[in-house]
Amino acid sequence: MKICKECGKEFSTRDDRVKYCSADCRLNHDKKRRAEYLHNSYYPANKEKIIERNRKYYAENKEKVAERQRKYYLKKIWGDED
């Protein structure tokens, strides 16, 4: 018996290299690892740039952003289609 690295369930396999009980667990693990990678390396390394970019975008597109937000809220309140 082996323990799935993703969900912690016991499963049986003859292949010693198998670490996950199912394809779903393997995919989940990949997804998590990718998210972690993005979170741990990309964002901190580029935090200032990302914040600055967002600030710039917002400053340059104030009307557009406001309009989009207005529409979004209207849609939420009235269920209006755009």
Interface residues with Zn ion (CB under 5 A) are 4, 6-7, 21, 25
CB 5 within 8 A of CB 21: no
Complex with Zn ion: residue 24 or 60, whichever CB lies closer: 24
Q: ∠ at Cα 57 (45, 40), nearest 5°?
A: 20
The answer to whether residues 19 and 5 touch, using CB atoms and an 8 Å cutoff, is: yes
Q: How far is the CB of 40 from Zn ion (least distance, A)?
A: 23
Nearer to Zn ion, 12 or 49 (CB): 12
Q: Is 75 helix (H, G, I), strand (E, B) or coil?
A: helix
Residue 20: CB minimum distance to Zn ion, A: 5
Strands 2-3 and 10-11: antiparallel
Residue closer to Zn ion, measured from CB, 15 or 81: 15
CB of 37 to Zn ion, least distance (A): 21
